[in-house]
Amino acid sequence: MSTQHAKKANEFVKLTDVVDRHDATFWAVRSKRDRMAHEVPEWEDLRAAADMIKKHTVTHLADYLGRFAENARRNGVQVHWAKDAAEYNAIVLDILRKHDVKKVVKSKSMLTEECGLNDSLMANGIDVVETDLGERILQLLGVPPSHIVMPAIHITREQVLECFRGHGIIEKNGRQAADSMGGDLKTLEAEADPTFLTRCARYHLRDNFMTADCGMTGANFGIADTGEVVVCTNEGNADMSTSIPPLHVVSMGIEKLIPDYKSMAVFQRLLARNGTGQPTTVYTSHFRKPRPGTEMHIILVDNGRSDILGNADHWQTLKCMRCGACMNTCPVYRRSGGYSYSYFIPGPIGINLGMLRDSDSHYGNCSACSLCCSCDNVCPVKVDLSTQIYKWRQQLDSMHHADPMKKTISEGMKVLFDHPGLYTSALRMAPVANVVPSWLAGLAMKPWCEGHDMPVFAKKSFHQLWKNGLKEDSQK
Whole-number Å distance between alpha carbons of 125 and 128: 9
**Does 460 engage in binding with other proteins (CB under 8 A)?**
yes
Tell me if 447 contacts other proteins by CB under 8 A. Answer: yes
Q: How far apart are CA 102 and CA 100, in angstroms?
A: 6
Site string for other proteins, 303-332 (x = CB under 8 A): --------------------------x-xx
**Does residue 109 interact with other proteins by CB under 8 A?**
no
Q: Which of residues 243-262 bind other proteins (CB under 8 A)?
A: none
Q: How many residues bind other proteins (CB under 8 A)?
A: 90
| ∠ CA 46-50-54, rounded to 5° | 175
Rounded (5°) CA angle 230-343-398: 120
What single letter denotes the amino acid at residue 32?
A: K
Q: Does 6 bind other proteins (CB under 8 A)?
A: yes
Considering only residues 331 to 390 of the shown chain, the ones binding other proteins according to CB under 8 A are 331-332, 335-336, 366-374, 376-378, 390
Q: Which one of residues 22, 26, 37, 154 is an interface residue with other proteins (CB under 8 A)?
A: 37
Interaction of residue 463 with other proteins, rule CB under 8 A: yes
296 binds other proteins (CB under 8 A): no
Q: Report which of 154, 143, 58, 110 is spatially closest to residue 322, judged by C-alpha positions.
A: 110
Within residues 77-106, the interface with other proteins by CB under 8 A covers none
Q: Which stretch binds other proteins (CB under 8 A): 143-151, 281-289, 303-311, 453-461?
A: 453-461
Single residue of 21, 25, 43, 236 touching other proteins by CB under 8 A:
43
Minimum Å gap between C-beta 362 and other proteins is 15
Among 13, 141, 143, 181, binds other proteins (CB under 8 A): 13
Going residue by residue from 145 to 184, which x/- string records binding to other proteins, judged by CB under 8 A? ----------------------------------------
* Residue 430 touching other proteins (CB under 8 A): yes
Query: Could you tell me where the DSSP H helices lie in 316-470?
Result: 325-329, 331-336, 347-362, 374-378, 385-395, 404-418, 420-433, 441-444, 446-451, 462-465
Per-residue interface string for the shown chain with other proteins, residues 400-429, x marking contact by CB under 8 A: --xx--xx-xxx-xx-xxx-x--xx--x--
Is there a contact between 324 and 273 (Cβ–Cβ < 8 Å)? no
> Could you tell me where the DSSP H helices lie in 191-298?
194-211, 237-243, 261-276
Toward other proteins, which CB reaches closer, 157 or 393? 393
Which residue of 4, 9, 121, 254 would you call a contact of other proteins, by CB under 8 A?
A: 9
* Beta strands at 283-287 and 228-233: parallel, antiparallel or unpaired: antiparallel
398 vs 375: CA distance, rounded Å: 27
The three-state (H, E, C) secondary structure of 426-457, written as one string: HHHHHHHHCCCCHHHHHHHCHHHHHHCCCCCC
Q: Is 44 in the site for other proteins (CB under 8 A)?
A: yes
Phi, psi of 230 (to 5 degrees): -120, 130
3-state secondary structure of 251: strand
Q: Which is nearer to other proteins, 10 or 294 (CB)?
A: 10
Among 123, 156, 445, 468, binds other proteins (CB under 8 A): 445
Only segment of 71-79, 113-121, 226-234, 449-457 that touches other proteins (CB under 8 A):
449-457
Tell me whether residue 360 or residue 453 sits nearer to other proteins (CB atom). 453
Which residues lie below 8 Å from residue 21, measured CB to CB, with a gap of 6+? none
